[in-house]
């Protein structure tokens, strides 16, 4: 059974706590329904919680956050230091949204505010480089998104996996060690819609309405979660 460390990089807004779980629990629920068996432990790094030095995991997943990956808050600086040590130790790293951007930045890429503005609702991506762990295979996939930052340059040696006109660098891997997606496989439509409503004053009315309407189209979060677990499982098997 795989062991996954979930590095939770946010707290839910107070208005959401009564109806929704935090990002760590969202990922646990998502992954527990995938065919690859695993156990999970969540550490909220905003609060300074990390695994004990003796703890070992098959992968470390960095969640989304309302914070900027390029920010200099003390907890972000500490997280960068921790992740760089994990990377240098050869550990498997996974990143979603904020995590996707933070790992790109940490490993030599670039990220920042997207000139095209907020990405909201369900976005479709074209697969650019199919991999052996991407089963079942598809040509395109859809994910729920909520971001105003994007990766603008991949780290040296990274391979682009998925792209869209709105987000050209939507997913990438670095060998068999790092795998990242801009979209949110762990989100559900109710959460994404409620979050958009809470931020409605930040969005153009036409963008808000079209993003809310897109929630009815469905998304492929379960598929992406399966790919992520298969990515981890292949590397774990190869290093036994």
Active site members = 97, 184, 186
How many angstroms separate the CA atoms of 113 and 136, rounded? Answer: 33
Q: How far is CA 151 from CA 19, 69, 81, 84, 181, in A?
A: 31, 10, 20, 18, 10
Residue with tokens 């935090």: 22
How many angstroms separate the CA atoms of 137 and 119, rounded? Answer: 25
Angle (nearest 5°) at CA 45 between 42 and 51? 55
Compute φ and ψ for 40, nearest 5 degrees. Answer: -135, 145
Helical pair 23-31 and 221-238, crossing angle rounded to 10 deg = 80
- Rg for the chain (alpha carbons), in Å? 17
Enumerate helices (H) and strands (E) in the chain, giving the number of each: 6, 11
> Would you call 90 helix, strand, or coil by DSSP?
coil
């Amino acid at each position: 059974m795989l062991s996954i460390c979930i590095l939770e990089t946010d707290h839910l807004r107070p208005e959401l706590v009564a109806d929704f779980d935090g990002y760590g629990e969202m990922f646990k629920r998502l992954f527990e329904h995938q065919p690859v068996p695993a156990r999970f432990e969540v550490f909220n790094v905003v609060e300074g919680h990390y695994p004990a030095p003796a703890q070992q995991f098959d992968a470390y997943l960095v969640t989304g956050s309302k914070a900027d990956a390029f920010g200099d808050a003390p907890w972000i600086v500490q997280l960068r230091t921790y992740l760089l040590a994990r990377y240098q130790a050869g550990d498997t790293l996974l990143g979603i949204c904020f995590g996707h951007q933070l790992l790109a930045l940490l490993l030599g890429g670039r990220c920042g505010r997207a000139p095209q503005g907020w990405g909201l609702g369900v976005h479709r991506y074209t697969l650019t480089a199919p991999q052996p762990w991407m089963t079942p295979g598809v040509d395109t996939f859809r994910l729920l998104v909520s971001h105003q930052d994007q990766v603008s340059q991949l780290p040296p040696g990274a391979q682009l996996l998925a792209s869209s006109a709105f987000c050209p660098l939507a997913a990438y891997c670095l060998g068999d060690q790092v795998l990242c997606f801009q979209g949110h496989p762990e989100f559900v439509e109710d959460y994404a819609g409620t979050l958009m409503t809470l931020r409605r004053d930040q969005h153009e009315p036409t963008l808000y309405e079209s993003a809310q309407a897109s929630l009815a189209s469905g998304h492929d979060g379960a598929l992406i979660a399966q790919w992520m677990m298969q990515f981890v499982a292949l590397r774990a098997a190869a290093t036994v």
